[in-house]
Amino acid sequence: MEIEFCKNCDNLLFLYSEEDEKKLYYGCKTCGEKQAKVVNQCIYNNTYDIDLSETINSNQFLKEDVTLPTIKDNPNIKCPNADCESVGKDDSEIVYIKYDGENMKYLYVCKSCQTKWTNQ
């Protein structure tokens, strides 16, 4: 972002917004001059490069969250824990979270034994 100066008094221009039109403009605090802001110029960009699987994995209450989707009695998705009471039965319940939509990565949590695994 470049620093802009007033054409009238050569003082620093500050960014202001008009709530009605939702537009940005430069304004001078000294003389009150207003200048239009370039439309396609980025003001602020923040990118996150964190692994959500680590954050989600540390939450011990995922199985209690009623807002998360649950897979019930699906023969294709079973708990990988051999000691789990749901292994070999038809009444398994597994909570899942899509933590990477671009690569279709899911985190699964068994409601019986709280075992967590991903589909990498």
- 96-107, pLDDT tens digit by residue? 988 877 888 888
Give pLDDT, residue 38: 63
Element (H, E) at 36: strand 34-36
> How distant, in Å, are the alpha carbons of 24, 33, 39, 74, 106 from that of 113?
54, 67, 54, 17, 18
33, amino acid identity? E
* CATH architecture designation of domain 1-46: Single Sheet (2.20)
Q: Where in the chain is the domain with CATH 2.30.30?
A: 52-118
pTM: 0.54
Going by C-alpha positions, the residue among 115, 120, 41 that lies closest to residue 81 is 115
- Residue 107 backbone dihedrals phi, psi, to 5 degrees: -110, 130
Instruction: Provide the Cα torsion 92, 95, 98, 103; round to 10°.
Output: -20
Position with higher pLDDT, 56 vs 53: 56
Q: Specify the fold of 52-118.
A: SH3 type barrels. (2.30.30)
pLDDT of residue 46: 77
